[in-house]
Amino acid sequence: MDARMSEILVVGAGPVGAVCALALAQQGVAVRVLEAQPADARGDVRTLALAHGARLILERLGVWERLSEVTPITRIHISQCGALGVARLAADELGVPALGYVLPYAQLAAALKDALREAEVPVEYGVAVDRIDAGREAATLATRDGRTLASPLVVVADGGRGEGAPPPWFEADYEQVAVVCDVASERPHANQAYERFTPMGPVALLPKGERYALVWTAPRAEAERIAALSDADFLAALYAHFGGRQGHFLEAGVRRTFPLRLTYTGSAAADHVVRIGNAAQTLHPVAGQGFNIGLRDAWELAALCADTAPARLGDAAMLAAYARGRRFDVLGGVGFTDFLVRVFSNDVAPLRHARGLGLMALEALPPLKTFVARRMMFGARG
C-alpha cells in the first residue's frame, strides 16, 4: 500500500484541525494536513475564550506553555438588563485556577503551527480542496492543483468554508450581528468577565490584557449603526447599554461585525469522511461554547482513531461510534446556547421574571452553580 494511503488527511490547519493532527501524531497515527491559506497568510484578529477543559487539552499537547498573552477569567458576573437577578461564578469555589482564558486567535494559531512543525507533522499550505468523495474502502480528495489523494479517513476541519458540504440537519438565523472590539474601562477588570442579557441580545466583556474584549450582539440594523458610530458616541452608547459596573469606557478599538447563525451538519458525513468543529456545528457566541466544542471534537476523534485497528479506520462502525460519543456534548452545547439566546433576547414580562428567578436560584444554590460552571468548562458531560 502507498504510504500516503495510510495517512489520515486533515483539511484545515486552523486550531481545531491542528489540535486533531497533533493529537493523532502524539499517539503514533500517521497524519497529513492540507491548508488552503498560504503559510504566510495574515493572522486572524479575533479573540478566543477558552474553557478550562480546553486548557487541559492544550497542556497535554505541549502547546499551553507556548502561550504568553493569556488572561485568566477567575470570576463571571451574569445579569439581565432592567430586571432583578444576578449570578456570580468563581474559580476558587470550584477548585480550578480559572473558569476560562482569553487570548488572541493569532497567538494560538502560531503556537500550534510551531508545534506541528516540531512534531514533524506534514502540513501543505496553499492547497485548496475541490472535492471529497466517500468510498467503501477509502475516501478520495481532489485538490485544486490537480492531485487526487486517497485516505482511510478525511477529517474536514475547514471551519465550514469548503465547498461541497452536506446540507445542515437544522439551522437558524438569529437575525443578530455581533459587534466586537477591545475596550478600556475606567476600573480594572480584576479578571472578572461579564455576561449581560438585554432585549437586543447578550453583551459580553471578557478580560484581555489590561482591557476587555467586547462582544455586543444586536439586531442587524442596530448592530451596523452601533459599529459605525464615532469612538465617543460608541463608548457613550456602550455605557448606556451595559451600565456603570466598570465605570466609564475610555477607549475602543476597531469594530468588526459578524452575523450569528446556528447550523448543525453533524459529525459523520459518509464512510471515511468526518466533519469537526465549525464544519460540523456553528453556535452563537453566548457562553463561549462553540470553539471549545470543536477542540473536544478534535481530541476525542484522535483518541478514537488511536484505539481503532488500522484496517477499520474511517469505516461506518468507527464513525458511528464517534458520532454517538459526541452527540450528547454537541447537542447539549447547541441546546444550551440556543436556549439562552431565545429565552434571554426579549422583553416579554413573564420570561423576564422567570429569568430573574432563574438567576437568583443559580446564585443561591451551590449544586446548580457547580452544574452550570462545569458545563461551561467541560461541556455537557462535565
Predicted local confidence at residue 257, as pLDDT:
96
- For residue 277, tell me if it sits in a domain: yes
Q: What are phi and psi of 171, to 5 degrees?
A: -150, 160
Predicted local confidence at residue 164, as pLDDT:
63
Report d(CA 128, CA 157) in Å as an integer: 13
Which parts of the chain have pLDDT scores under 50?
A: 1-3
For helices 290-306 and 15-26, the axis angle rounded to 10 degrees is 20
Task: Tell me which H or E stretch contains 104.
Answer: strand 100-104
Which residue segment(s) compose the domain that 121 sits in? 3-44+101-169+261-344
Predicted local confidence at residue 162, as pLDDT:
64
Q: How far is CA 3 from CA 57, 134, 156, in A?
A: 29, 20, 21
- For residue 194, tell me if it sits in a domain: no
> What CATH code is carried by the domain that includes residue 36?
3.50.50.60
Report d(CA 3, CA 151) in Å as an integer: 10
Predicted local confidence at residue 218, as pLDDT:
95
Predicted local confidence at residue 6, as pLDDT:
81
- DSSP per-residue string spanning 13-59: -SHHHHHHHHHHHHTT--EEEEESS-TTPPPP--EEEEEHHHHHHHH
Given a contact cutoff of 8 angstroms between Cβ atoms, the answer to whether 48 and 105 are in contact is yes
Given a contact cutoff of 8 angstroms between Cβ atoms, the answer to whether 308 and 292 are in contact is no
- Minimal CA–CA distance to 263: which of 173, 134, 354? 173
- For residue 327, tell me if it sits in a domain: yes
Q: How far is CA 102 from CA 91, 225, 260, in A?
A: 15, 27, 20
Tell me how many domains the chain contains. Answer: 1
- For residue 281, tell me if it sits in a domain: yes
Q: pLDDT tens digits, residue range 68-101?
A: 999 999 999 999 987 788 999 999 999 999 999 9
Predicted local confidence at residue 81, as pLDDT:
87
Predicted local confidence at residue 256, as pLDDT:
96
- For residue 151, tell me if it sits in a domain: yes
- For residue 191, tell me if it sits in a domain: no
Q: pLDDT tens digits, residue range 218-232?
A: 999 999 999 999 999
Predicted local confidence at residue 170, as pLDDT:
84
- For residue 242, tell me if it sits in a domain: no
DSSP state of 86: E
- For residue 349, tell me if it sits in a domain: no
